[in-house]
């Protein structure tokens, strides 16, 4: 069986349940002001592209990209079904998201994730893909519950090299604001 990745169908009730499970799972990891996951309505906003990875009949993963500014997007709503974790599903979704960004000329992807042990596998996934730790970007501020990371993307798509380690971005995460 393989992972099939398509743009999200917001009318699919499984998607709403999967995203709510994501929010519920994150709730005990940080105080409300330090949780930055988007809910279903946030993922429907202009400038946000959400994908769903299906394995058989079930949703195995989600991932989104949200525009921050010209050529700079934020990775959002990365989640792998707990039953599929450790099987490469998250890596496949991340690879898909980075490939989409490169194909559209995006030059930089930044993200915010948690600083606790719960998020260690996510931080390892991102570091393995070449993301480096940086300071807050967009509307984020220093927060002990958050880790900020960024990746400079290649100009041309190259499937094997998209997730290869890259040199740190000397410009950091950037100071672009989120669109209003």
The percent of residues above 90 in pLDDT, for the chain, comes to 62
Nearest to 95, CA basis, from 75, 112, 123: 75
Tell me which DSSP letter residue 19 carries.
H
DSSP string, 26-94: HGGGS-GGG-----HHHHTSTTEEEEEEEETTEEEEEEEEEEEETTEEEEEEEEE-GGGTTTTHHHHHH
Please compute, for residue 117, the number of CA atoms within 13 A of its CA located in the half-sphere on the CB side.
Answer: 0
Segment 138-145 shows an average pLDDT of 92
* Tokens (6 digits) for 53: 């990875």
pLDDT at 39 over 60: yes
**Which of 137, 129, 125 is closest to 67 using CA atoms?**
137
By the 10 Å C-beta count (0-12 exposed, 13-18 middle, 19+ buried), 114 is classed as: buried
**Residue 61 pLDDT class (50, 70, 90 cuts):** very high
What are the E-state strand segments in 87-172? 108-114, 132-134, 146-152
Banded model confidence at residue 167, pLDDT cuts 50, 70, 90: very low
Using the structure block, give the residue that is written with the tokens 């393995």. Answer: 128
Is residue 104's pLDDT more than 80? yes
Return d(Cα 172, Cα 159) in angstroms, integer. Answer: 24
Position with higher pLDDT, 32 vs 165 = 32
CA 143 to chain centre: 19
- For tokens 């743009």, the residue is 7
Q: What is the pTM of this model?
A: 0.83
**Per-residue confidence (pLDDT) for residue 156, from 0 to 100:** 64
Kindly report, residue by residue over 71-101, the tens digit of the pLDDT: 999 999 998 998 888 888 999 999 999 999 9
Question: What is the pLDDT, as a whole number, of residue 41?
Answer: 87
- Number of Cβ within a 10 Å radius of residue 169: 19
pLDDT value at residue 34: 73
Please state, rounded to an integer, the average pLDDT across all residues of the chain.
84
């Amino acid at each position: 069986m393989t992972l099939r990745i398509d743009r999200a169908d917001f009318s699919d009730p499984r998607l709403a349940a999967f995203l709510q499970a994501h929010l519920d799972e994150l709730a005990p990891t940080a105080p409300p002001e330090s949780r930055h996951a988007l809910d279903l309505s946030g993922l429907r906003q202009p400038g946000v592209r959400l994908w769903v990875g299906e394995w058989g009949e079930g949703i195995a993963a989600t991932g989104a990209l949200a525009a921050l500014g010209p050529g700079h997007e934020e990775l959002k709503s990365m989640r792998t079904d707990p039953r599929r974790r450790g099987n490469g599903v998250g890596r496949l979704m991340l690879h898909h998201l980075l490939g989409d960004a490169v194909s559209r000329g995006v030059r930089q992807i930044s993200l915010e994730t948690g600083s606790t042990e719960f998020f260690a596998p996510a931080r390892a996934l991102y570091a393995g893909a070449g993301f480096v730790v940086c300071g807050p970007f967009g509307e984020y501020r220093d927060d002990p519950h958050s880790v900020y990371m960024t990746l400079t993307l290649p100009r041309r798509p190259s499937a094997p090299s998209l997730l290869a380690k890259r040199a740190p971005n000397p410009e950091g995460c950037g100071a672009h604001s989120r669109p209003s």
